[in-house]
Amino acid sequence: MGLENLKTILKNKEKTFEIKSPIIAASGTYGYNDEFQDFIDSNYFGAISTKGITLEKRLGNEGDRIFEVQNGMINRIGLENVGIETFIKEKLPILKSKNIDFLLNIAGSTIEDYEKLAEIAQKYNIKALEVNVSCPNVKSGCLEFGLNPDSLFKLISKIRENYNNFLIVKLSPNTNNIKLLAKATENGGADCISAINTLRGLGIKIQFDGQKFIKKSVKGGLSGPCIKPIALYMIEEIRNSTNLPIIAMGGITKLSDLFEFILAGADAFQIGTANFIKPSICTDLAIELSDFIEKNNFKNFEELKNKIKETK
């Protein structure tokens, strides 16, 4: 089966990012793709978003990193990654050899970190950059920029000075006004918004061994189907404040979820937590979406998307 009817073009003014399907594997849920390439057909993906890349290698947080909760999970990975130098030397050649489109997801502790990462991305002509200003699992950076509109505007403006290709900013839901963050992102020079990242959460499990209670708990980022209503609300708020294309995420597991996010304002999708449950979910959703388009006589994904957005 071909993917011709799934072609998606994310566009802001003269900047475009063309992908073969609107289905993207979310950052932190698909590694660098080489972990999956032997048993998952990634040709159906529009792209993958890499693990969050920092200037230097990071080992991440110690202790429990994943905590299952009802209809979701809490993670506190802490941006474990190989660092930009190793990514360029070892991971980038694999992505290029497999002809896989990707978003280079970047994170930093200072504005200077982001500027340097943007310069490197430009040097190697990375087609799309996803700026992480929304990870709740690190002690400095990310949310420090991502929850203050003025700081966010300054950060995106600095990145824009060093990077000329398609610039995506990943916003946090841990705010009381995501509209202000969306406008700051647009005014700073971004081409696209991805949302939402994880919500702050606490998972607790308690057992009684016959003599005493034993507790296990994890604080971190909550994701999965349990956050979908919040994600839908946030996507609609973003759409009402900006005309930038939106890549939506937050609890997507099935075809009808895609339609709901389109109605809220989405132009493409990222699949995150579902990858841990069913590693083939991105491929399966792309095939299911393509079949739906063909069986219901839509010309392509764009026509389907416009039809859904006409729904009263």
Supply the residues annotated as catalytic.
135
Q: Residue 100's Cα: distance from chain center in Å?
A: 16
> In this structure, are residues 61 and 88 in contact, taking their beta carbons and an 8 Å threshold?
no
Q: Residue 300's Cα: distance from chain center in Å?
A: 24
Other beta carbons less than 10 A from residue 89's beta carbon: 11
Non-local CB neighbours of 195 within 8 Å, separated by 6+ positions = 170, 171, 173, 178, 231, 234, 235, 238, 246, 247, 248, 249, 250
Nearest to 244 by CA among 8, 21, 47, 11: 11
Tell me the C-alpha distance between 240 and 234, whole Å.
10
| β-sheet bridge partners, residue 9 | 18
Burial 174-202 (b: 16+ CB within 10 A, else e): bbeebbbbbbbbbebbbbbbbbbbbbebe
> In this structure, are residues 104 and 129 in contact, taking their beta carbons and an 8 Å threshold?
yes
Q: Helix H segments across 124-270?
A: 143-146, 149-162, 178-188, 228-239, 255-264
3-state class of 222 per DSSP?
Answer: strand
Other beta carbons less than 10 A from residue 278's beta carbon: 13
